[in-house]
Amino acid sequence: MLKPLLTLVILAGTLAMPVSADDTASTPTRTIWDRHDQSGVPGKEIVIGTAVLPPGTAIGYHTHAGDESGYVVKGSLILKTRGQPDQTLYAGDHFFNVRGAVHSLTAPAGGEGGTAVSTWIVDKGVPLATPVP
């Protein structure tokens, strides 16, 4: 119980920090917070992390070797999934990507950027994301 509470406190503190012009790099930043074997399911692991996208940046098209469930905690983002209409997501919105879905995440230019927290249940021992042209 203490570890999830500590994670939420760290997230809240991070989101409340002021950002200077030097901090808003021109590339998105992914941070993996934690990963654990999925109990009772050999070969699977649960991963949790964030993606911080400055305005006008994108995480290119990619897939995951498992499912992704995410939540936008700050700003606005556009989820682009091949074969589906783009989804504009705002703080408080959630999203889901099935195993193998080719998708990208973009922060619109001229906005404030966005931050999402995701949990993945993926095959253990493979890269979390695989780029797709």
Give 43-91 pLDDT, tens digit per residue.
999 999 999 999 999 999 999 999 999 999 999 999 999 999 999 999 9
Domains present along the chain, CATH in parentheses = 28-131 (2.60.120.10)
Q: How far apart are CA 9 and CA 60, in angstroms?
A: 30
Query: Quick one: pLDDT at residue 25?
Result: 60
Query: Quick one: pLDDT at residue 7?
Result: 41
- The rounded radius of gyration (Å) of the Cα atoms in the chain is 15
Q: How far apart are CA 110 and CA 98, in angstroms?
A: 30
Give 20-51 pLDDT, tens digit per residue.
444 446 899 999 999 999 999 999 999 999 99
- Per DSSP, the residues of 13-74 read HHHHS---TTTS-SS-EEEEEEEEEPTT-TTEEEEEEEEEE-TT-EEEEEE-SEEEEEEEEE
pTM: 0.79
